[in-house]
Structure 1
Amino acid sequence: MEEQSKQAPPIERAIDHLAEKGYFIWDDFISLSSVQELRNLAETNREEGNFKKAGIGKQVLFQVDKSIRGDYIQWIDKVPENPVLKSFIQEITDLKEYLNQTCYLGLKDFETHFAIYPENTFYKKHVDRFQQNAHRVLSFVLYLNTQWQNGDGGELALYLEDEQKIIEPLAGRLLLFRSEMEHEVLLAHKPRYSVTGWMLDKDMSLTFLP
């Protein structure tokens, strides 16, 4: 049985791990050339001033607090012009549909943005599902950190019931986890790049979601 599990396609292994542990890690979700292009796109947009300081809370409760999180973000259009970004959005769309078919999660939509953590920034322990707006079901992170090495920081710590799981932000790695799980981004010693998003149980066009 264990040998059959190892031979199963990545998506099937991912679904099994999500059901058992509440998260999965999918290495090489996109190619390194696509990682580099997405990172270049993020850097260009940052240089053009398209990123903004991220905050905490939703809507009227939104606030910027550098003592809690230090990243900068740029929201991504669901129909982007960049072909690599467009391909990634389609991959996430297909993954959402497959998760609905296999896990019956009732996912209707997703939202996503680029995230950059400058050197010496972090995001303290938190959950992604807001009490005031509990539509986030699954969180996902695609890492864009080419040539990441131990000591560069920026790992994500997942707090499970019986353990703490540290995920290294390796280029092309996709992490997906239940949005109610506690997690934090550890101190980044070098700039940390990702595409971060959330799969929702509501269509964004039908509910007041930012």
Structure 2
Amino acid sequence: MTKFSEEQWIDWVDQLSQNDFVVIDDFLDKQLFESIRTYFLDRLEMDGFSDAAIGALNHKQLEKSIRGDKIYWLERKNDLEMESFFQLSDELIQQLNQLCYLSLSGCEFHLAHYPIGAFYKKHIDQFKGRSNRLISVIIYLNVGWKPGDGGELKIFKENGGELLVEPLAGRCVMFKSDTVPHEVMKTQVNRYSLTGWLLYQPSTLGYLLG
């Protein structure tokens, strides 16, 4: 499966290498976007989402003052409707391995629902003592987002600056999991995304922090 040209991949990887993050619009084509969004809404209607926690392993806890999203963990062998997305994630891993020599060998993804009023305070995705998360990936599934709706991703740059990323439909944000502090601003509408990590090795620790 080859969705993008070699030149596109090189440009995105260059941005990721230089800035520690990259924003890609229209990462999902219309058909894939609609299929993922439909699957998301089906799982939401079936009440398949759980409150997201913070911390890892025995330190996991619910803390609404830090994050208020609900998540549904995806498993490739069970969530067969998501296979086209997993094929795209395979291509992403292959390209990053070829261009960056990252030795990525797996991924973990979940669907994330931020209800009205939810947010996620400033944090870094990589845990102490768990270094297999290398690249964070967020793909937005909102339709008709407009200024004032909230739910933007705030990226804290190394030079002290900040970047506010609007959660536009089909937009993908990738960043280094261990070096990029970020937060999700309070949302005024239901906010949907597909979020996960590209791993140095497949996770054997179970699903920790979403």
Q: Same fold (TM over 0.5)?
A: yes
For 1:51 and 1:90, how far apart are their aligned partners in 2?
A: 24
Gaps of 5+ in 2: none
For 1:66 and 1:112, how far apart are their aligned partners in 2?
A: 22
Q: Secondary structure at the match of 1:128?
A: coil
Cα RMSD of the aligned pairs, angstroms, is 1.5
Q: Give the structure 1 partner of residue 182 of structure 2.
A: 183
Q: Secondary structure at the match of 2:173?
A: strand
Task: Say if 2:10 and 2:99, in contact at 8 Å, map to a contact too.
Answer: no
Instruction: Count matched residues.
Output: 200
Q: Give the structure 1 partner of residue 21 of structure 2.
A: 23
Matched, 1:12 2:10: yes
For 2:197 and 2:43, how far apart are their aligned partners in 1?
A: 21
TM-score by length of 1: 0.91
CA shift for structure 1 position 93: 1.1
Task: Say if 1:32 and 1:171, in contact at 8 Å, map to a contact too.
Answer: no
Q: For 2:149, which of 144, 152, 156 is the aligned residue?
A: 152
Matched, 1:127 2:132: no
User: Residue type of the partner of 1:77?
Assistant: E
For 2:73 and 2:109, how far apart are their aligned partners in 1?
A: 6
Q: Provide, for residues 6-62 of structure 1, a one-character-per-residue CA deviation record: whole Å limited to 9, x for no partner.
A: x98321210110110001111111123432332222122112121000010111010
CA shift for structure 1 position 97: 1.2
Q: Provide, for residues 184-207 of structure 1, a one-character-per-residue CA deviation record: whole Å limited to 9, x for no partner.
A: 000111000000000111123xx3
Give % identity: 38
Matched, 1:76 2:74: yes
The residue correspondences of 1:194-209 to structure 2 (distance < 5 A) are 194-204=193-203, 207-209=204-206
Task: Say if 2:104 and 2:199, in contact at 8 Å, map to a contact too.
Answer: yes
Task: Say if 1:36 and 1:146, in contact at 8 Å, map to a contact too.
Answer: no
Q: Secondary structure at the match of 2:38?
A: helix
Gaps of 5+ in 1: 1-6
Runs of 4+ that moved beyond 3 A:
none
Q: Secondary structure at the match of 1:60?
A: helix
User: Residue type of the partner of 2:98?
Assistant: Q
